[in-house]
Structure 1
Amino acid sequence: MEAKTKDLWVFVETNTDGTAKNVGIELLTPGKMLAEKQGGELVAVVIGENVGEAVDAANAHGAQKILVVDGPEYKNYSTDAYTYVICTLVEKYGPTSMLIGATNNGRDLGPRVSCRLKTGLTADCTSLDIDPDSGNVAWTRPAFGGNLMATILCPDHRPQIGTVRPGVFKKGLETEKQAVIINEKIHVDAKDIRTQILEIIQDAGDEKIDLEGAEIIVSGGRGVGGPEGFKTIQELADVLGATVGASRAAVDSGWISHAHQVGQTGKTVGPKLYIACGISGAIQHLAGMSSSDCIVAINKDPEAPIFDVADYSLVGDLFEVLPILVDEIKKARA
């Protein structure tokens, strides 16, 4: 289909209580930049039940227009209902591009919407811009197993759609609420929703690791040497009140669970402080943590790629450095 406007849409995913998930609010930050370069408006799309709080959050973080679809059939995400709503809105308003958070639901919704609209989708983006030559969105994502970064354009079909991982961008500062709020009445019959939620199990598994919401992360990689090595990582994390992360190499070796993995095939994070211990710095890992405010790298290899993105670099054995660091932190707090 052809775009009717130059607007950029951000799908603001909601929780069952009507609040906004962080990733949708985060995406309003790059969304504003892209919308300005496209010459259009930044539009938030909010779907759910009793979504007043989510609408307020989008309004406070820069949305110029908010399309709201509120109804009991949208309390829980379903592929059929949400796809129908998004496609109906797109056909009515005709945006030129759309951002969707790469959550479990977003990764389900994005491909279905792009297929229904006969347009392209770039998944798991880590950087966004406007190509100066064509005016298309330049979607950048890891490719070939994380060994290089690819920039993808969708020149012929609209809207251009991409999913972006939580934590890649940070929430902008709250602004004056000036958005135009448009309530759309779109109903989906229960018979047209082919799935039904029977039960929601919270915190499945034996642990819940909130890497995406952590302000401090201490991560271990191949240099940790084994599962016992993560005890040293945990000691530093404990004194800092941090969350323990890990590289893919450590997870694949079975030293720590996948719930701790940072990187292309793990979580994308952006904490205030990220301490990488014994992590070489493969592109796959850098894609998941390079947006951290401050990066401290500890590695025996002075040529490790992690030092290229680190704000502070320590060349040394992590098993010698971390105990000293833990002792000094404890002394400072005594």
Structure 2
Amino acid sequence: MILPRLAASSLRGASPLTRAATAAASSSSRTFATSAARLANSLLFLEHKNGTINPASLVALTAASKVGGDVDGIVLGGDDVDGVVDKATKISGLKKVHFSKAKNYADNLAEPAAPLLKSIVESNNYTHVFAGHTAVGRDIFPRFSALIDSSQVSDIIAVDSEDTFQRPIYAGNAILTVKSNDKVKVVTVRGTAFDKASEEGGSAEKAEVKPADAPLETEFVEEKLNVSSRPDLATASRVVSGGRALKSGENFEKYIEPLADALNAAVGASRAAVDAGYADNALQVGQTGKIVAPELYLAIGISGAIQHLAGMKDSKTIAAINKDPDAPIFQIADLGLVADLYDAVPEMTQKLK
């Protein structure tokens, strides 16, 4: 069972008194977590693709380590998964890496994965199970949670104690503190909330697990991906995003993409730009798109709707170009330029070149 305890104002813009009170409460919670951690025993679902471990899994490992106790990993895949398992054993912070190889596990389907996770958790008495809050995590973990009769705690951004977590609600405008009384805590972690664990320095042991004997009624057909030479939007250190003010797909391509290339940045877009057909849906940043936290986020022609801010407000440096001096984006921007993007962007692109 999950018990919501309190909702606090959004982080950015909170008063010093509020921040101090929150820090004091967090410190107290962490003290409790240390004493309770002796009983904690966590399992981390390690998501991977094309031989590479998803960075969101490394972030989830950092969150799991804050609970305390030992953290083990689980890798599922086809017959070619051995390379990923070897990489997983080198991740700092993992004690053991379970792995299972079967054709059914090659495509991250929830139907075969969830029963195996249930079996591993029950046979090893794990108290916590963590994963990144990715498309795969959001698919597998609800089914797994139902199988073990636990309530999932989704998209956390902080660990207060071994049973208490924080997660954003209302598009990030409030933070909910959630306490879980379930025997096994099932948790997904926001990919921008913690630092990534190091992929070097570990020496975890391997433990092969026999594939679960579960009927499979779902068949994987195909996956269509937009291949780009630019950095991946979810993990890029720099992001250039365009909004509705660009007025057309041609302008989006003409103004946003050259600037992104000059910065070696990923391209993003607001929901308004995506809905208008200026950019592909895979580029959407926001509450219903991708959550990003790059070193630099450059918002061009984006007003700053609450849904968009929810997807990028954790960026280290936010810069904005908008001709409206009262645009909400300027309230959270570290750097702002009140100018017509059709003049400012070409000039900036030229100077960067």
TM-score (norm 2): 0.77
Q: Could you say if the C-alpha distance between residues 213 and 62 of structure 1 is closer, same or farther in structure 2, counting changes exceeding 3 Å?
A: same
Offset at 1:220?
1.2
Q: 2:73 aligns with which of 44, 59, 72?
A: 44
Q: Could you say if the C-alpha distance between residues 19 and 68 of structure 1 is closer, same or farther in structure 2, counting changes exceeding 3 Å?
A: farther
1:64 aligns with 2:90: no
Matches within 5 A, 1:131-142: 135-142=162-169
Q: Tell me how many residue pairs correspond in the alignment.
A: 315
Q: Distance in 2 between matches of 1:56 and 1:299?
A: 48
What residue in structure 2 maps to residue 164 of structure 1?
Answer: 189
What residue in structure 1 maps to residue 33 of structure 2?
Answer: none
Residues 320, 335 of structure 2: 8 Å contact kept:
yes
SS at structure 2 position matched to 1:192: coil
Q: Distance in 1 between matches of 2:326 and 2:41?
A: 45
Q: 2:207 aligns with which of 161, 168, 183?
A: 183
What residue in structure 2 maps to residue 55 of structure 1?
Answer: 85
Q: Distance in 2 between matches of 1:288 and 1:126?
A: 14
Percent identity of the aligned residues? 35
Residues 72, 98 of structure 2: 8 Å contact kept:
no
Q: Distance in 2 between matches of 1:101 and 1:11?
A: 8
1:153 aligns with 2:178: yes
Q: Distance in 1 between matches of 2:201 and 2:283?
A: 37
SS at structure 1 position matched to 2:40: coil
Q: Distance in 1 between matches of 2:91 and 2:251?
A: 42
1:94 aligns with 2:125: yes
Offset at 1:204?
6.5
Offset at 1:137?
3.0
Q: Deviations over 1:34-91 (max 9, x none)?
A: 22xxx32233222224434333433433233233122224333232221111111111
Q: 2:46 aligns with which of 6, 9, 12?
A: 12
Q: Distance in 1 between matches of 2:156 and 2:328?
A: 19
Which deviates more, 80-89 or 234-243?
A: 234-243
SS at structure 2 position matched to 1:280: coil
Q: Could you say if the C-alpha distance between residues 152 and 159 of structure 1 is closer, same or farther in structure 2, counting changes exceeding 3 Å?
A: farther
> Could you tell me which amino acid in structure 2 is paired with residue 10 of structure 1?
L
Q: Distance in 2 between matches of 1:174 and 1:13?
A: 14
Q: Could you say if the C-alpha distance between residues 99 and 193 of structure 1 is closer, same or farther in structure 2, counting changes exceeding 3 Å?
A: same
Which deviates more, 49-58 or 237-246?
A: 49-58
Q: Distance in 2 between matches of 1:206 and 1:79?
A: 28
SS at structure 2 position matched to 1:109: helix
SS at structure 2 position matched to 1:25: helix
Q: Deviations over 1:183-239 (max 9, x none)?
A: 1433333x6222233x43442699998312433221012333443442222231232
Offset at 1:329?
1.6
Residues 102, 211 of structure 2: 8 Å contact kept:
no
Q: Could you say if the C-alpha distance between residues 271 and 60 of structure 1 is closer, same or farther in structure 2, counting changes exceeding 3 Å?
A: farther
Q: Distance in 2 between matches of 1:302 and 1:62?
A: 47
> Could you tell me which amino acid in structure 2 is paired with residue 157 of structure 1?
D
Q: Could you say if the C-alpha distance between residues 227 and 98 of structure 1 is closer, same or farther in structure 2, counting changes exceeding 3 Å?
A: same
SS at structure 2 position matched to 1:27: helix
Residues 98, 161 of structure 1: 8 Å contact kept:
yes
Q: Could you say if the C-alpha distance between residues 183 and 28 of structure 1 is closer, same or farther in structure 2, counting changes exceeding 3 Å?
A: same
Offset at 1:245?
0.9
Residues 77, 100 of structure 2: 8 Å contact kept:
yes
> Could you tell me which amino acid in structure 1 is paired with residue 260 of structure 2?
A
What residue in structure 1 maps to residue 243 of structure 2?
Answer: 221
> Could you tell me which amino acid in structure 1 is paired with residue 258 of structure 2?
E
What residue in structure 1 maps to residue 63 of structure 2?
Answer: 30
Which deviates more, 284-293 or 202-211?
A: 202-211
Matches within 5 A, 1:106-125: 106-123=137-154, 125=155
What residue in structure 2 maps to residue 242 of structure 1?
Answer: 265
Q: Deviations over 1:245-292 (max 9, x none)?
A: 111122223332212101121112233322111223333222322333
> Could you tell me which amino acid in structure 2 is paired with residue 8 of structure 1?
S
Q: Distance in 2 between matches of 1:207 and 1:175?
A: 27
Alpha-carbon RMSD: 3.1
Which deviates more, 206-215 or 220-229?
A: 206-215
Residues 323, 340 of structure 2: 8 Å contact kept:
yes
Q: Could you say if the C-alpha distance between residues 252 and 93 of structure 1 is closer, same or farther in structure 2, counting changes exceeding 3 Å?
A: same
SS at structure 2 position matched to 1:54: helix
SS at structure 1 position matched to 2:232: coil
Q: Deviations over 1:168-189 (max 9, x none)?
A: 545334442233x251433333
Residues 221, 250 of structure 1: 8 Å contact kept:
yes
Which runs of 4 or more aligned residues in structure 1 lie more than 6 Å from their structure 2 counterparts after TM superposition? 204-209
Which deviates more, 205-214 or 82-91?
A: 205-214
Matches within 5 A, 1:218-297: 218-230=240-252, 231-297=254-320
What residue in structure 1 maps to residue 233 of structure 2?
Answer: 211
TM-score (norm 1): 0.81
